[in-house]
C-alpha cells in the first residue's frame, strides 16, 4: 500500500511569520496596536478596527478544548493511517481559537473545556504543525 | 394588487428522483427537472427570459456546460436574455431565490427558471467523495493539514451542543427516524423502502465521535428546478402560487474553527429577520423544512428559529411531533439524511418541498391545509444561515 503524503498548509504570504515561528517551535499570532485585539488567523488588516498597525506576539501556548471529535472512520486519504485521531478547536488564553489535533493521550480521554498546551510536530522539512496535549498537573 | 406588486411567486416545480444512475447523463437531471417545472407552471417554455443554473460539483467540465447555456439550448428556450450561474454552496437555492425575486420585483426579469443537477452518487468514488469533502470549502492553510472533514465538522458541533445542553445520542438518532418516516412517503427519496429505528442508527459504524454512519447524509445523483414570476401575474398562471414572504441571512465564517459558536451559528438573527419581514412567527408555520445534512443542524435550526427552547429539539423528534401526522411537520421530503444529498441540491430539494407542500402537491405526505412554511439552507462549513418564509397568501 502506498502512503499518501500529508497535505501541507497552503501558506498566504502574510501568514508566513506564523509558519516560520512554528518551525522554531514558537506559537505566534497577530496583535492590533489600533484596538488591542488579538487576531488569528493572520490578516492583512485588523478584522475588528481595520487598522494596518499589526504586530506579532508569542502565545502562552495554553488553552482549553472548545470542542473535539475522535475520527474513527472515513478520514481523508492521507489520514487513514492515523485513525483514531482527535480533531479539536482550541481556544487559547489570549482569546484566539484554531483547529488542531490533540496528541499524547488516549483519544477517548479528551473532553470539552479540558486544559491543553501546545506541542510541535514536524510534518516535513518545510513545516511544523502546532498541536496540543493535555496540560500536565 | 398593491401588496402583490412588489413580490415574486413560485408557479412551478420539478424534481427527478435522488439516487444512483450511472447510465444517465448528468444533463438529464438538469433538463428533465427543468421540463417538469415548466410544465408544472403551465406556461409556454418561451416565456422563460432568465435561466439561473446553480453549480454542479462532481465535474468542472459539466459545470462549465451549465455556465455556457447548455440548458437553454437543450430545452430550446427562445427568449432567454441571460443565463447566469448563482452558487453559494448549500445556500445556493436561498441566494438564487433572493436574486431572482429581486430581478422580478424590479422588472428586470419576468419569468426565471432556476435549475440544479449533480452526480455525486455515481460521478465520484466513495473515497473521492470523502476527499472532495475534506477539501471543498475547508481552509487549505488552517484546517486541511489537521485531517479536517465534513463528518468531523458535524461531530465538532454535535459534541459542543451535547456538552452545553445534555442532548443524548438517542435524541440525535431520532432525527434520522423522523426524516426516514417522511422519506417513506416520498417517491423521489433514495431511502424510501423501510423505516429505521434509533437502535439501528446507534449500532451503525462510528465515523467521528459521536457521529455515526446512519447520522450522516449520503451523496447521490439528482436534480431540481423551479419557475418564478411576479406575484401579480402568478394567480393567472397557477391555481395556488407560493409567495416569497420573508428572507433573512447571516454569514458567520469561512474557516470553521473561527466560528464563535458552533452550537448556534447565525440562525437566530437570520430567522428573526425572515419572520419579521413576513409578519409571521414560528407558530404560524404549518411546515418547517430545516436543513439536515447531519442531525445536529436540524436540531439547532428548529431551536434557533424559535420552534422550541434550546436543548428541547431532541424531544420533538423522539415524541413524533416532527413525524407525519405530528404537530410540527419537519423536513418532509426526508431531507439529506433520507432523500439524499446532491451537493447544492440538498437545500434546493427542501425549498421545492416547501413549495410542493404549500401548492398541495405532496401526495401521501401532504400536510393538510398547509399555508405557511419556513425553509433553511446553509453552505460551506455552515458558513451562513439562510431562512426563507413562504406562503399561499400575503398576510
Ligand atoms: Zn484593530
Smallest CA–CA distance, residue A65 to chain B, in Å, is 10
What are the extents of the domains in chain B? Answer: 8-124+220-237
- Could you tell me the fold of the domain covering A60-137? OB fold (Dihydrolipoamide Acetyltransferase, E2P) (2.40.50)
Asked if residue B89 lies in contact with residue B344, where contact means CB atoms within 8 angstroms, the answer is yes
Contacts of B297 (CB under 8 A, 6+ apart): B154, B157, B290, B291, B378, B382
**Residue ranges of domains in chain A:** 12-58, 60-137
Closest CB from B139, B141, B156 relative to A87: B156
Looking at residue B135, its pLDDT comes to: 74
- Percent of chain A exceeding pLDDT 70 equals 98
Provide the sign of the torsion angle of the four alpha carbons A133, B380, B266, B347, taken in this order: negative
A120 Cα–ligand 1 center, Å: 29
Give me the average pLDDT of each 10-residue run along chain B (395 residues).
70 98 96 98 97 95 97 98 97 97 96 97 80 79 95 97 98 98 98 97 98 95 98 94 97 96 97 97 98 97 98 98 98 98 95 98 97 97 96 92
For residue B131, what is the nearest residue in chain A, using CA coordinates? A76
Mutation test of the interface with chain B: which of A6, A13, A14, A76, choosing the one with the most B Cβ atoms within 10 A?
A: A76
Whether residues A12 and B145 touch (CB distance < 8 A) is answered with: no
Q: φ, ψ for residue A16 (rounded to 5)?
A: -55, -40
The reply to whether residue A69 touches residue B209, judged by beta carbons under 8 angstroms, is: yes
- Cα separation of A59 and B1, whole Å? 62
Of B147, B156, B213, nearest to A79 by CB-CB distance is B147
Say yes or no for a CB contact (<8 Å) between B262 and A67: yes
The cell numbers describing B246, all together, are 420573508
End-to-end alpha-carbon separation of chain B, Å? 13
With cut-offs at 50, 70 and 90, classify the pLDDT of residue A13: very high
Q: Strand order of the sheet with strand A28-32?
A: A38-39, A28-32, A54-58
pLDDT computed for residue A2 by the predictor: 59
If residue A137 lies in a helix (H) or strand (E), which one and from where to where?
Answer: none
ipTM exceeds 0.95: yes
Question: Residue A108: closest CA among chain B residues belongs to which residue?
Answer: B209
User: Taking CB atoms and an 8 Å limit, are A67 and B145 in contact across chains?
Assistant: no
pTM higher than 0.80: yes
B364-369 long-range CB contacts below 8 Å, 24 or more apart? Answer: B364/B185, B365/B182, B365/B185, B365/B186, B365/B324, B365/B332, B365/B333, B367/B286, B367/B287, B367/B329, B367/B332, B369/B286
Q: Tell me which residue of B102, B104, B49, B101 sits closest to B80, measured CA to CA.
A: B49
CATH architecture of B8-124+220-237: 3-Layer(aba) Sandwich (3.40)
CB B215 within 8 A of CB B172: yes
Compare all CA atoms of chain B with the CA of A123 and give the residue at the minimum distance: B145
Q: Do A113 and B258 touch (CB under 8 A)?
A: no
- The nearest alpha carbon in chain A to B206 belongs to A72
pLDDT confidence band for A88 (50 / 70 / 90)? very high
Is the Cβ pair B156, A67 closer than 8 Å? yes
CB A74 to CB B163 under 8 A? no
Q: What is the Cα–Cα distance from B36 to B15, expressed in whole angstroms?
A: 7
Residue among B207, B213, B255 minimizing CB distance to A41: B255
Residue A42 has pLDDT above 60, yes or no: yes
Rounded Cα–Cα distance for residues B260 and A66 (Å) = 10
**How many angstroms separate the CA atoms of B92 and B96, rounded?**
6
DSSP B147-164: T--HHHHHHHHHHHHHHH
pLDDT band at residue A137, thresholds of 50, 70 and 90? low
Interface of B with A (CB under 8 A): 127, 130-131, 134-135, 139-149, 151-152, 155-160, 163, 205-211, 213, 255-258, 262
Give the residue from chain B lying closest to A96, CA to CA.
B258
> What gap in Å lies between CA A25 and CA B131, rounded to an integer?
30
CB B115 within 8 A of CB B352: no
3-state helix, strand, coil split of chain B in percent (to 5) is 40, 20, 40
The label of the residue with cell 427570459 reads B49
- For B107-161, write each residue's pLDDT tens digit: 999 999 999 999 999 988 877 777 776 677 899 999 999 999 989 999 999 999 9
CA-nearest residue to B153 within chain A is A69
Predicted confidence (pLDDT) per residue in B265-277, tens digit: 999 999 999 999 9
What gap in Å lies between CA A51 and CA B240, rounded to an integer? 53
User: How distant is the Cα of B294 from the closest Cα of chain A, in angstroms?
Assistant: 15
Q: Under an 8 Å CB criterion, which residues of A touch B? A: 6-12, 15, 40-41, 66-79, 82, 85, 87-89, 97-101, 108, 111-113, 123, 127, 129
Contact criterion met (CB < 8 Å) for A129 and B163: no
Amino acid at each position: 500500500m502506498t502512503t499518501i503524503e500529508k497535505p501541507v498548509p497552503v501558506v498566504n504570504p502574510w501568514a508566513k511569520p506564523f509558519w516560520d515561528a512554528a518551525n522554531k517551535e514558537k506559537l505566534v499570532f497577530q496583535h492590533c496596536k489600533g484596538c488591542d485585539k488579538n487576531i488569528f488567523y493572520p490578516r492583512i488588516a485588523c478584522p475588528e478596527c481595520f487598522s494596518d498597525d499589526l504586530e506579532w506576539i508569542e502565545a502562552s501556548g495554553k488553552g482549553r478544548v472548545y470542542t473535539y471529535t475522535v475520527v474513527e472512520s472515513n478520514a481523508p486519504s492521507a489520514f487513514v493511517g492515523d485513525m483514531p485521531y482527535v480533531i479539536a478547536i482550541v481556544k487559547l488564553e489570549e482569546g484566539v481559537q484554531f483547529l488542531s489535533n490533540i496528541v499524547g493521550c488516549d483519544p477517548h480521554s479528551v473532553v470539552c473545556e479540558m486544559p491543553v498546551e501546545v506541542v510541535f510536530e514536524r510534518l516535513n522539512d518545510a513545516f511544523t504543525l502546532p498541536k496540543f496535549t493535555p496540560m500536565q498537573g | 394588487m398593491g401588496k402583490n406588486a412588489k413580490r415574486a411567486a413560485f408557479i412551478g416545480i420539478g424534481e427527478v428522483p435522488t439516487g444512483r444512475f450511472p447510465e444517465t447523463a448528468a444533463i438529464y437531471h438538469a433538463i428533465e427537472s427543468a421540463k417538469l417545472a415548466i410544465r408544472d407552471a403551465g406556461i409556454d417554455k418561451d416565456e422563460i427570459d432568465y435561466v439561473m443554473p446553480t453549480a454542479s460539483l462532481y465535474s468542472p467540465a459539466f459545470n462549465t456546460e451549465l455556465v455556457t447555456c447548455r440548458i437553454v439550448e437543450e430545452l430550446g428556450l427562445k427568449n432567454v436574455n441571460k443565463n447566469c450561474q448563482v452558487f453559494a454552496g448549500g445556500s445556493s437555492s436561498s441566494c438564487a431565490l433572493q436574486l431572482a425575486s429581486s430581478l422580478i420585483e424590479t422588472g428586470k426579469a419576468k419569468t426565471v427558471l432556476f435549475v440544479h443537477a449533480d452526480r455525486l452518487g455515481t460521478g465520484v468514488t466513495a473515497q473521492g467523495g470523502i476527499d472532495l469533502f475534506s477539501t471543498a470549502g475547508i481552509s487549505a492553510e488552517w484546517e486541511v493539514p489537521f485531517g479536517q472533514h465534513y463528518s468531523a465538522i458535524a461531530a465538532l458541533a454535535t459534541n459542543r451542543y451535547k456538552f452545553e445542553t445534555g442532548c443524548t445520542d438517542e435524541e440525535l438518532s431520532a432525527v434520522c427516524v423522523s426524516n426516514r418516516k417522511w422519506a417513506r412517503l416520498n417517491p423521489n427519496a433514495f431511502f424510501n423502502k423501510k423505516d429505521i429505528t434509533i437502535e439501528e442508527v446507534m449500532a451503525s459504524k462510528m465515523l467521528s465521535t459521536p457521529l455515526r454512519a446512519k447520522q450522516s447524509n449520503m451523496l447521490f445523483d439528482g436534480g431540481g428546478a423551479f419557475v418564478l414570476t411576479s406575484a401579480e401575474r402568478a394567480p393567472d398562471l397557477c391555481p395556488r402560487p407560493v409567495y416569497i414572504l420573508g428572507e433573512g441571512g447571516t454569514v458567520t465564517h469561512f474557516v470553521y474553527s473561527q466560528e464563535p459558536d458552533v452550537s448556534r451559528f447565525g440562525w437566530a438573527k437570520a430567522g428573526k429577520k425572515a419572520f419579521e419581514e413576513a409578519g409571521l412567527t414560528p407558530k404560524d408555520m404549518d411546515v418547517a423544512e430545516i436543513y439536515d445534512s447531519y442531525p445536529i443542524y436540524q436540531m439547532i435550526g428548529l431551536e434557533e428559529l424559535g420552534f422550541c427552547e434550546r436543548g428541547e429539539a431532541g424531544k420533538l423528534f423522539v415524541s413524533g411531533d416532527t413525524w407525519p401526522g405530528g404537530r410540527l411537520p419537519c423536513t418532509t421530503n426526508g431531507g439529506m439524511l433520507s432523500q439524499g444529498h446532491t451537493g447544492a441540491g440538498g437545500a434546493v430539494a427542501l425549498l421545492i418541498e416547501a413549495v410542493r407542500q404549500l401548492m398541495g402537491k405532496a401526495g401521501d405526505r401532504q400536510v393538510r391545509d398547509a399555508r405557511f412554511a419556513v425553509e433553511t439552507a446553509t453552505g460551506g462549513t455552515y458558513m451562513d444561515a439562510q431562512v426563507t418564509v413562504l406562503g399561499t397568501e400575503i398576510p
